[in-house]
A and B are shown apart, each in its own frame.
Chain A
Amino acid sequence: MADHELEDPGTSTPVKLSRRDVIKGVIAAGAASSASYLFRGSTASAQASAPGAVERLITLDVNGQQRRVDVMKQETLAMTLRYKLGLTGTKLGCDRAECGACTVLIDDVPRYSCSIFTHTVRDKKIVTIEGLAGANGKLHPVQQGVLDEQGFQCGFCTSGFLMAAVGFLKTNPNPTRAELAHGVSGNLCRCMDYDKILTALMRGAEYMRKA
């Protein structure tokens, strides 16, 4: 896989990049330690003739944009988002469905992007933390709630909590504190002021109802 056809998120123009360019780009983006993910190509040969065979070059609907991307069969969505699409707001805590840091919305439903094969969400709408704010930069009401209440400490778990909360609030707009706690119970915080986190998310829920 010498060449990668990647879409430049800024210009939406597909650009042909050499392997060297991609390495430079990745290093420049501050993700050098993760660059190896890009080049571990699939060794299994394509079975184009078999029913259900999968093409590697796919288009994903991420934050309302159509993103062309070359995805390995075994690649997780967290990997694609962070290391191919540059959407590093999605965090990896455990990489095994046990912390929630990687939570994104798939067709409005919160799921762990570390435990999804990217190819299985090809036809779905993906929203990450980068897609929450409005086009004009106005924060999502739940983001605003978190900001106003200063809900988090180090912030590593914040994007996962926000995505879990936003997904939960879409179907439960007016939860009690206990219901919201249950809704975001698939997210861990190492700094652990869950009470403060809940206060912030409840504030966000209130803003969301008013919006």
Chain B
Amino acid sequence: MAVIRDVIPAFELFQPASIEDAQSLLARYGPEGWVLAGGLDTFDWLADRIKRPTAVVDLGQIKGLSGVRVVDGGLEIGAMTTLTEVVQHPVVREKYRLLAEAAEAAASPQIRNQGTIGGNVSQDARCWYYRAGWPCYRAGGNICYADTPKGLNREHAILDADRCVAVNPSDTAPALIALDAKMVIRTPKEERVVDAEDYFIGPATDITRMTVLQPGDLLTAIRIPSTWAGAQFYFEKVRDRNVWDFALVNVASATKVSGSAIGDVRLVVNGVAAHPVRLKAVEAAVTGKPRNEATAELAGQLAVQGAQPLQHNGYKVPLMTNLVKRAIRGVAGEAA
């Protein structure tokens, strides 16, 4: 929707220097407050006047929220670290290449130079109707415009839909889940650490949110344990254009082989549901099996069981099947 709508309506801008100050501002403004990281998910909302916060709280001046640190053999990535910094970090490239590949596949160079990893995993759904301000379920209404006979739903969900059929748009999310990352959340009361897998929620849990973050909560860091360091990785994203476009479907996997068999594996797909989908049944089915065509075939079939395509997104079923097969075969993107 490339409509230039003049200037963004006025809001009060705050640039607090600490997490505590940021949270006291968010508490003061409640639903009228908005957290700003790189802003690349934020700008459309504000420019289109769909979201009209009274106060924008910029996390950019808070020290210690940005940068990649090596801790306990793993990594701690500050929420305000840009996608480019993640892509370029030598330890990410060497041991957790899956994440570098996923981050590099997002958006465009300029967006990666500014968009943060915390924002990338916390970004909102990209459903046309929702983003254009239609009063759908996700916006607090009682209808889904995409899931209608004439709705534009080519990009939408094939799994786990519940009234809303929007998908999670993040490229880094499936890679982080495959790497068993932990999300460090600061609530107004305490620090809480949540598995990446549980950070993302679907409409059945809360139809208006994409993550477990409650208003006032901040994501401060993402920890990557050493568990999957140097494993064999596979990431692939299928999209219409190679730049800017969100994934139609993407897949991320981490595999440890023992002999010629799959010893241990984590397999995650995004772009198919409102949250990234970890394919636990597939993981269990292929563990111990040889890494060959028959196993890939089994995985691909199992992955899409229960898929319910909409009018225009039936192609996502074979697409997901094929991406899962490739991830199991591990053709490209092997640990370099």
Residues of A within 8 A of B (CB): 36-37, 40-47, 50-54, 72-76, 79, 92, 94-98, 100, 103, 109-112, 114-117, 119-120, 164, 168, 182-186
Contacts and interface: CB of A to CB of B under 8 A. Distances in A.
Interface of B: 2, 4, 6-18, 21-22, 24-25, 28, 36, 39-40, 43-44, 46-47, 54-58, 60-61, 84, 107-111, 113-114, 242-244
A184 B109 CA distance: 7
A94 B2 contact: yes
B113 A74 contact: no
Contacts of B60: 120
Contact of B114 (A47, A94, A111): A111
Nearest to A184: B109
Contacts, number: 129
Nearest to A114: B43
A44 B54 contact: yes
A164 B243 CA distance: 15
B178 to A, nearest CB: 24
A96 B6 CA distance: 12
B43 A74 contact: no
Contact of B10 (A36, A42, A47, A54): A42
B54 A98 contact: no
28 contacts: A36-B6, A37-B7, A42-B11, A42-B12, A50-B14, A51-B14, A51-B18, A51-B24, A52-B57, A52-B61, A72-B7, A73-B10, A74-B8, A96-B44, A96-B47, A97-B107, A97-B108, A110-B109, A112-B110, A115-B39, A115-B114, A116-B39, A116-B114, A117-B13, A182-B109, A184-B109, A186-B109, A186-B244
A52 B17 contact: yes
A116 B280 CA distance: 40
A111 B14 contact: no
Contacts of A97: 40, 43, 107-108, 110-111
Given A43-B10, A54-B15, A100 B110 contact: yes
Contact of A185 (B13, B61, B109, B114): B109
Contact of B43 (A42, A72, A92, A115): A115
Given A72-B10, A98-B244, A52 B43 contact: no
B120 to A, nearest CB: 14
Nearest to A40: B7
Contact of B113 (A36, A109, A119, A182): A109
B109 A183 contact: yes
B47 A95 contact: yes
